Amino acid sequence: MISPRQGSSVRSDMRSDQFSWGYNRSSNPVEFVARYTACQVSELGPANYGIGSKHLKTNIAIVATTVSGSGDTIAIVEESEYLVYRSFVGRTASVRPKCVGKFESNGGYRAGIDMIQARSHGHITIDKRKRNFVCAAISDNLLAMGASKGSFFLFSIGEGEQAPGRAIFKLEQPDRVIQKILFNSEGTELVVLSSIQATNTEICQFYAVGQFPIITSQRHKASSFDYKPSFSADCEISIEMSYTVERGVYPYNLRDAKFSSDGRKVIGVTNHINGSALVFLLSKDEEDQWTHGGSQQIVVHRLDNWDIDCLGYTGISL
């Protein structure tokens, strides 16, 4: 399940899984090999609130960062605000956001190229109350956001969008906690992973991106959108997130998940409980239908089984 990262600059003794920092067993210095070239640094400009604005922030808590599969679009997400940047790599000047969005204290949602020119979109939540963002995923045309009270939003950020940050989809399920949102590398499919804590169940909802009214440079005419119920998940899979052994039942919570490079598999890993973690696999069958490939409890050796705060597995990939 775990392999050295490609491009690692540290040589290790293949007979041991312990790195020899500084010197190896034969007392020869460890050789470090440069495999990456540093690029020019760009300064990411903040959202423009205007001179003398009372909304200028001093303490910023970032809850998520995400990059599109093409690498051309990035989003930085705070609890109630996000900033989207486009094609900033290699540019030395300060890069202004392409789009910003914010939940105001009264529950209203505003979005635009900056906060001065941000357009009010009114209340986009069921109860007209503010939501706090908790996770995000991005493609070059869409920003997918998970928020408090089981809220899932899609915002249109395409080049041809005349109202950047326009909400084109929402789904609010207060009995759920959204844990993770993922786009495949092509940006054609996304999955929302959320938990139903009362039943210790993880729900995986797959959406075909093509069903949403995305505005791109090739498609300038925006259709009206009223959160049509016809936009639904193409597939929903429930995964039992507990593991039963002789000593009892272990309840797990999702920690990380990833699409495979070909977009036909999703793998997830949970938090660590008493020296173990749960790994599950979802995959497409021959008819391109998502199925649960099974779950497996993995014992993490050389960890203190009684240290609940021990990191265990922090990430996973295919």
Q: Give me the torsion for CA of 103, 107, 108, 111, rounded to 10°.
A: 10
26 CB neighbour count, 10 Å cutoff: 7
pLDDT tens digits for range 68-121: 999 899 999 999 999 999 876 655 556 788 899 999 999 999 999 887 888 899
135 or 34: whose pLDDT is higher? Answer: 135
- Please state, in angstroms and rounded to a whole number, the distance separating the CA atoms of residues 90 and 99: 20
Answer positive or negative: Cα dihedral of 126, 257, 34, 72.
negative
- Please state, in angstroms and rounded to a whole number, the distance separating the CA atoms of residues 143 and 298: 33
Phi, psi angles (nearest 5°) of residue 110: -125, 145
- Please state, in angstroms and rounded to a whole number, the distance separating the CA atoms of residues 288 and 292: 13
Q: Residue 265: which residues within 8 A CB-CB, separation 6 or more?
A: 259, 281, 282, 283, 284, 293, 318
**Section 291-310 average pLDDT:** 74
Q: What is the mean pLDDT of the chain?
A: 79
Among the listed residues 224, 223, 100, the one whose alpha carbon sits nearest the alpha carbon of residue 164: 100
3-state SS, residue 211: helix
**Section 26-51 average pLDDT:** 59
Distances (CA, A) of 229 to 150, 169, 171, 211, 316: 17, 9, 9, 12, 34
Among the listed residues 218, 253, 210, 256, the one whose alpha carbon sits nearest the alpha carbon of residue 234: 210
Which range among 12-21, 221-230, 241-250 has the greatest average pLDDT?
Answer: 241-250
Number of H helices, E strands in the chain: 0, 20
Q: Give the per-residue pLDDT at 65.
A: 94
- Please state, in angstroms and rounded to a whole number, the distance separating the CA atoms of residues 231 and 128: 21
Q: Give the per-residue pLDDT at 313.
A: 74
pTM of the predicted model, to two decimals?
0.78
pLDDT tens digits for range 9-32: 333 333 333 333 333 444 555 565
Residues of 152-179 as b/e, b for ≥16 C-beta within 10 angstroms?
bbbbbbbeebeebbbbbbbbbbeebbbb
Q: Give the per-residue pLDDT at 58.
A: 58
